[in-house]
Structure 1
Amino acid sequence: MSILKNINTELRNDKSINLDKMNISDAISLMINEEYSVIEALKDQHSNLVDVITHTAKVLENGGRIIYVGAGTSGRLGILDAVECPPTFSVDYNTIVGLIAGGERAFIEAQEGAEDNPIFGESDLINIDLSSKDIVVGIAASGRTPYVIGALKYANSINANTVAISCTKDAKISEFANHNVEVVPGPEVLTGSTRLKSGTTQKLILNMISTLSMVQIGKVYENLMVDVKPTNEKLVERAKNIVCQATGVSYEVAQEYYEKANKSVKIAIVMILNDCDYKQALAILKNNKNFIKR
């Protein structure tokens, strides 16, 4: 019997049996409707998501890193989430790291067989000097990827915290993690193509992990990205608008304080809200553990 036979992500979707005969309009409607199952499945894992994000935030607060580990689509989604965090939250590129089986080349070109050896998962973590302060988040739609299992086993061996994210119940990778999220969105419209609903599921989970972990360590004020790194013209304008939105001052005043704050949105906001100078704003942030208000 095939080892994939009873894995949720490999089952056939009865609603799409005639996908090859559907007109484009009906196929689009089907794919849209199937995505709703992702949201419902996520709701079932609410408490597990709270548990995971509580721990990922604590790791960041204590100076550790979040390490995403996956193969194929799962690995690419981890990298996608990781690389967006430095410009959004002004964190170091090593704060949230994405590792993919087969290395960087695998992001744009499938590296067949790279996911099948657990030793590669271990060696990739060794190469980035994984420590017990870090948390490893293993991502595998099928819940059984050897590369991910190898990474989780190694993380456990050095007492790093571990998380398993899968799209099937009773996932194999959950056996090797301290915390797990098993979201089951159901069979794919295209059987076994986990870049579809499973990919959507994983992207939403990673969005929550990175965003809400950053909220917990003071990188967000109200719902504003106050630690945004203004690296291009659009982001410079966004930065000034954030100062306006957070304080209610005019664009001109926001621009003035943005310059006084050495182009730091957060410091500019603290200066305005507390009617203080740059050095005083730094002291306030230090006292508040980097939160604008606490």
Structure 2
Amino acid sequence: MKNKLTTEQASGYNDLEKMSTVDLLSNMNKEDKTVAYTVEKVLPSIEKLVEDIYSKMKSGGRLFYIGAGTSGRLGVLDASECPPTYGVPDNLVIGLIAGGDMALRKAVENAEDDTEMAWKDLQEYNITKNDVLIGIAASGTTPYVIGGVTAAKKHGIITGCITCNKNSPLSLEVDHPIELVVGPEFVTGSTRMKAGTAQKLVLNMISTTVMIKLGRVRGNKMVNMQLSNKKLVKRGVDMIMNELKVDEEKANQLLSKHQSIREAIDTFNLNNKNE
């Protein structure tokens, strides 16, 4: 009999329904504190994957995420936040979830068990060997994800995965396995907890590092972010004021004229240099 997956092992806590509110919260927090240390252990693996993504994107490639359930939602979330945060095209980082967009809100029965659907989904975006594919699955056994990365690898596409079990079937199929063994969940098998937190941390690190390396950040500022609401416009004005040492009125004028923080700063500096 095979050993039970770490993500499916029994919680170290019992009789949860008998715990007080403060004990429930404290014990969950205690477990959550271990997650960042788990991520720290796999930084070398994350680094190798990031370097490959960066190399492909410099040459016009894209990054794809595939997953099911919580893992799929986390991938879609990370992908959807790249355009407003870094001003990149919507099709540079693409997140796909088993069952389609409907599965973002409601579970789609048997969607994750289809070994061929992920590759069909990816083909709709004309994925090629210029791209990189990351499969996200806490268990590392999700057929949708394994089928997708297996097909992608056969087509010469660089593959990675983010999973929470050691030596899972998914890890064995990819070029860059990232294994976040966070241990049993507070609620047995509820991988939206520590496993999901670990996956979210790594996704943040991957996309943020790649975007910085691609020049989408200056200093520590999101100078390419989309100005889609009043809060972000105010943030953009503050960035321009701080960078150019101009007053708020001038910063507002520059931002209104150029509709881009980076362009406002660069044009102002260029004009002053030529004077």
TM-score (norm 2): 0.95
* Cα distance between partner residues in 2 of 1:276 and 1:163: 46
Corresponding residue for residue 210 of structure 1: 207
Post-superposition shift, 1:47?
0.7
Q: Report the aligned-residue RMSD.
A: 1.6
One-letter identity of the residue aligned with 1:12? A
User: Residues of 2 paired with 1:244 and 1:106: CA distance?
Assistant: 43
Q: How does 1:251-290 map to 2 (within 5 A)?
A: 251-260=248-257, 262-276=258-272
Residue 78 (1) aligns with residue 71 (2):
no
Alignment partners' CA distance in 2, 1:259 and 1:102: 42
Structure 1, gaps ≥5 residues long: 281-294
User: Matched residues in 1 for 2:245 and 2:178: separation?
Assistant: 40
CA contact (8 A) 1:67 1:98 kept: yes
CA-CA distance at 1:230 after TM superposition: 0.5
Aligned length: 274
Match of 2:96, SS? Answer: strand
Provide the residue aligned with 2:126 in structure 1: 129
Q: Which amino acid aligns with 1:265?
A: I
How far does the alpha carbon of each residue in 1:244-279 deviate from its partner, in whole angstroms, 9 at most, with x for none?
23333322222222234x2110011223344459xx
Percent identity between the two aligned chains? 39
Q: In the alignment, which residue of structure 2 is the partner of 1:22?
A: 19
Would you say 1:182 and 2:179 are equivalent positions? yes
Equivalent of 2:5, from 7, 10, 14? 7
**Stretch of structure 1 that moved more, 221-230 or 171-180:** 171-180
Counterpart code for 1:174: S
Distance 1:178 1:135 in 2: 10
State the match for 1:112 in structure 2. Answer: 109
Structure 1 SS opposite 2:34 = helix
1:249, 1:17 → 2: CA distance? 60
Instruction: Flag the 1:154–1:245 CA change in 2: closer, same or farther, 3 A.
Output: farther
Aligned to 2:239: 242
Matched to 2:8, the amino acid is E
Is the 1:169–1:184 Cα contact (8 Å) retained in structure 2? Answer: yes
Unpaired segments of 5 or more residues in structure 2? none
